[in-house]
Amino acid sequence: MSAQINIGVIGAGRIGKIHAENIAYFMPQARLAAIADLNMTPAIEEWAKKLGVPTVTKDPRQILADKTIQAVLICSSTDTHADFVVEAARAGKHVFCEKPVDLTVAKVKAALEAVKKANVKLQVGFNRRFDHNFRRVRDLVAAGEIGSPQIIKITSRDPAPPPPAYVAVSGGIFLDMTIHDFDMARFQAGSEVVEVYAAGAVLVDKAIGDAGDVDTAIITLKFANGALGVIDNSRKASYGYDQRVEVFGSKGSAAAENDSPSTVRLSNEAGVSGEKPLYFFLERYKEAFIAEMRAFLDAVAKDTPCLVTGEDGLQDLLVALAAKKSVAEKRSVKISEIG
């Protein structure tokens, strides 16, 4: 394929900018045709101009109406995702949608239905599947190096909690933060979650508890293939972003440690010390954001299945809702109880 894929970006916030810049700098197979943001500002206009984007608009529908645009990236606020997916699909455009597609099962299902009907691609922004460490674990698992997976174990801790105001609209830790880990667990297990037990606590910030959420959690998963999973979450690790994955199986274990800014160790009278992990997701997943976009363009160009589908997004949501219910009802919850 020699022609470039024309891309429209809806939403020019932090994540929209990352995707747009990655395409502009690293992906000659695509071309930024238009960028829309409901709150267009001179700063965004200038930024878009530097990237050489011909169309800059406040109106996303202008992108959806543009027949030359083949794919859209939905990077607007979460509550608008599902509707834009439906509209984009109806307009015959391939869709890359930031996670989550929606916080309700009904809207996600409607979006998936529209995608299916339009026969377009839909990739959901679970970027961690493209992280070099986690991909390596998955490759080892898929190659049979650890035998049958028995325990999928994820450590996922943020360097700092979000503001309580954000917590209130985020849907809570499981829908906002752990949903990445549920997706990772399913990705590594190669199997669907069938049951969830979650224990939560408020140990980081009382305001999070006041907002009806927890900030520390241990989640146990049971998979259809018999494997067990466990995730531990904290909204605040003083040493930075802690993102580790281990898959343990009948023949061995594959474990990914954190990345850090350098490999340097300082030895002195106090001991031997190294650097903290890379600070947060922008640093740790910098290359993963590029890789996920390349994968999306590949799927579009070659008409192959996306590596993270709308169905993945739906399953991750179901698990997150089950975890939420588990904390509320203090019991183990089956996925079949949800939705």
Write out the binding residues for a copy of itself, residues 222-241 only, by CB under 8 A.
Answer: 222, 226-230, 232, 234, 236-239
Does residue 3 belong to the site contacting a copy of itself (CB under 8 A)? no
Pick the binder of a copy of itself from 68, 77, 148, 304 (CB under 8 A).
148
- Residues 243-272, one symbol each (x = binds a copy of itself by CB under 8 A, - = not), give -----x-xxxxxxxxxxxxxxxxxxxxxxx
Per-residue mark of binding to a copy of itself, 201-220 (x: CB under 8 A):
x-xx-----------xxx-x
User: What does DSSP say about strands 94-97 and 122-124: parallel, antiparallel, or unpaired?
Assistant: parallel
Nearer to a copy of itself, 73 or 290 (CB): 290
Q: Restricting to residues 156-185, which ones interact with a copy of itself according to CB under 8 A?
A: 157
Q: Which residues, other chains included, contact 57 with Cβ-Cβ below 8 Å and sequence gap of 6+? A: 34, 35, 36, 40, 63
223: helix, coil or strand?
A: strand
Q: Reply yes or no: is the peptide bond before residue 277 cis, omega within 30 of 0.
A: no
3-state SS class at 122: strand
Nearer to a copy of itself, 65 or 266 (CB): 266
The interface with a copy of itself within residues 21-40 (CB under 8 A) comprises 25-26, 28
Strands of 71-74's sheet, edge to edge? 55-57, 30-36, 5-10, 71-74, 94-97, 122-124
CB of 174 to a copy of itself, least distance (A): 15
* Phi, psi (degrees; rounded to nearest 5) at 138: -60, -40
Contact 51, 21 (CB under 8 A): yes
Name the region of 144 (left: φ>0; alpha: ψ -120 to 50; beta: rest): left
Q: Closest approach of Cβ 243 to a copy of itself, in Å? A: 10
Interface with a copy of itself (CB under 8 A), residue total 72
CA distance 325 to 320: 9
- Based on the shown chain and the rule CB under 8 A, indicate whether residue 331 belongs to the binding site for a copy of itself: yes
- Indicate which single residue of 49, 50, 117, 206 sits in contact with a copy of itself (rule: CB under 8 A): 50
- Cβ proximity to a copy of itself: between 36 and 227 the closer is 227
